[in-house]
């Protein structure tokens, strides 16, 4: 997707703002026969709002994947299909963000797989730990817990959070031009410290390197690219690095920058831009009780900073599956959520 720095005009869709600074719900999409014009309007809305929710899309696995392919190259599950693992879905492009166990029941919150997923409840961006980061994620509801049992997806507006920083602090960050190391092990450890007590993100695992402060190409606005996967800032002593990452994550995820999006119907779908927003699974009473089946496609970024400072490895099957074989046995598809 290109850039949309001008104020968008919407002719084929209705865009309803749901938060003072970002996020919208879009109505009027013809999912069965989506015109080029409508497609472009959706992505103009995404450039501006960062997160867009569509109700009752009627999409199924095949049409979800088909629509996603129209956006760009998709990440796939292929590299995780080692050691006899079999894909959960017909489409390798679908990532499981739900809580269904291998027998079709509700995942036990104390199971190893649940622990692997706990980092998902911390604010993050998808795939910052991969050599090539993700641009858009498209998450669709297949089965939802009864309303009132939690399970929202929360989003944070990291562009406005940047805008609101003290200009002196902004200048300092721009001058330092920090590079952050991202690791899936970092968010796992934060998400379930006891379970992952022996997991050390610095112990041979892959770190992916991305600039902390970046221009979001699609909107021309500046963004703080930070996530629960952010392990360390290069060149800073650990204490300083930890403190600055915490300060910025705390800043970005203040409630005034957060929108909590409620899932209401099967086939609701939300698209977010990982390059200008963070998100998390909110959790809730449904955990351990009700099935929540959400499936995600993930689009490879094509912006100038897609690869950050990482070595370009275009065959994603060669990407390292980080810390896949750590303490917990029974990990099936869980390494791939965030």
Position 281 contacts ligand OGA (CB under 6 A) = yes
Looking at residues 117 to 156 of the shown chain, list those that interact with ligand OGA (rule: CB under 6 A): 120, 126, 137, 139, 153
Answer with the entry of Mn ion, ligand OGA, none that 296 interacts with (C-beta below 5 to 8 A by kind). Answer: ligand OGA
d(CA 220, CA 24): 19
What residues from 120 to 179 belong to the interface with Mn ion (CB under 5 A)?
Answer: 126
Listed in order, strand segments (DSSP E) in the chain are 14-17, 24-27, 51-54, 95-96, 134-143, 153-157, 179-182, 208-211, 213-216, 221-224, 230-233, 258-261, 269-273, 277-281, 293-300
What is the closest distance, in whole angstroms, from the C-beta atom of residue 151 to Mn ion in the complex?
A: 14
Beta carbon of residue 279, minimum distance to Mn ion (angstroms, whole number): 6
Judged by beta carbon distances under 5 to 8 A according to partner kind, the member of Mn ion, ligand OGA, none in contact with residue 139 is ligand OGA
Q: Which does 142 bind (CB under 5 to 8 A by kind): ligand OGA, Mn ion, none?
A: none
CB of 130 to ligand OGA, least distance (A): 13
Least gap, CB of 334 to Mn ion (angstroms) = 13
**216 and 210 in contact (C-beta within 8 Å)?**
no
* Subset of residues 91 to 120 that bind ligand OGA, contact rule: CB under 6 A: 97, 120
Residue 125, number of CB atoms within 10 A of its CB: 28
Q: Distance (Å, rounded) from C-alpha 218 to C-alpha 231?
A: 26
Sign (positive/negative) of CA torsion 64, 158, 151, 85?
A: positive
Q: Residue 17 carries which DSSP code?
A: E
CB of 272 to ligand OGA, least distance (A): 9
Residue 338 binding Mn ion, by CB under 5 A: yes
Tokens representing residue 239 in the block? 């204490």
> Distance between CA 14 and CA 39 in Å, rounded?
13
Q: Which CB, 8 or 283, lies closer to ligand OGA?
A: 283
Which CB, 137 or 326, lies closer to ligand OGA?
Answer: 137
Under rule CB under 6 A, residue 227 binds ligand OGA: no
Nearer to Mn ion by Cβ, of 29 and 125: the residue is 125
Q: In the complex with ligand OGA, which residue's Cβ is closer, 41 or 210?
A: 210
Q: How far is the CB of 134 from Mn ion (least distance, A)?
A: 9
The C-alpha atoms of residue 274 and residue 135 are separated, in whole angstroms, by: 5
In sequence order, the β-bridge partners of residue 208 are: 182
CB 182, min distance to ligand OGA, A: 15
Closest to Mn ion by CB, 41 or 273: 273
User: Which residues make Cβ contacts (< 8 Å) with residue 201, sequence separation at least 6?
Assistant: 183, 185, 186, 189, 207, 231, 323
Which stretches of the chain bind Mn ion, using CB under 5 A? 126, 338
User: Which chain residues interact with ligand OGA by CB under 6 A?
Assistant: 97, 120, 126, 137, 139, 153, 279, 281, 294, 296, 337-338
């Amino acid at each position: 997707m290109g850039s949309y720095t001008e104020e968008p005009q919407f002719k084929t869709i209705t865009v309803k703002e749901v938060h003072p600074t970002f996020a919208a719900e879009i109505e009027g999409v013809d999912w069965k026969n989506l015109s080029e014009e409508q497609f472009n309007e959706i992505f103009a809305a995404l450039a501006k709002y960062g997160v867009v929710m569509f109700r009752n899309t009627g999409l199924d696995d095949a049409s979800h994947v088909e629509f996603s392919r129209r956006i760009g190259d998709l990440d796939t599950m292929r590299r995780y299909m080692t050691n006899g693992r079999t894909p959960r879905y017909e489409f390798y492009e679908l990532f499981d963000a739900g809580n269904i166990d291998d027998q079709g029941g509700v995942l036990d919150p104390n199971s190893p797989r649940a622990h692997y997923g706990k980092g998902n409840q911390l604010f993050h961006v998808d795939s910052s730990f991969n050599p090539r980061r993700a641009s858009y994620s498209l998450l669709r509801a297949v089965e939802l817990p009864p309303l009132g049992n939690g399970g929202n997806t929360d989003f944070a507006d990291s562009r406005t959070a940047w805008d609101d920083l003290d200009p002196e602090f902004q200048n300092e960050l721009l001058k330092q031009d920090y590079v952050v190391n991202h690791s899936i092990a970092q968010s796992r450890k934060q998400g379930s410290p006891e379970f992952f007590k022996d997991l050390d993100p610095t112990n041979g695992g892959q770190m992916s390197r991305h600039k902390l402060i970046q221009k979001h190409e699609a909107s021309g606005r500046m963004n703080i690219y930070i996530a629960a996967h952010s392990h360390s800032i290069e060149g800073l002593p650990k204490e300083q690095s930890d403190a600055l990452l915490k300060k910025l994550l705390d800043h970005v995820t203040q409630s005034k920058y957060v929108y909590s999006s409620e899932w209401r119907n099967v086939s609701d779908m939300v698209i977010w831009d990982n390059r200008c927003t963070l998100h998390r699974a909110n959790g809730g009473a449904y955990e351990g009780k009700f099935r929540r089946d959400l499936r995600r496609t993930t689009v490879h970024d094509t912006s100038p900073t897609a690869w950050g400072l990482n070595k370009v490895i275009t065959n994603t099957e060669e990407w390292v599956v980080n810390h896949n074989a750590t303490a917990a046995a029974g990990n099936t598809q869980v390494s791939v959520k965030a």
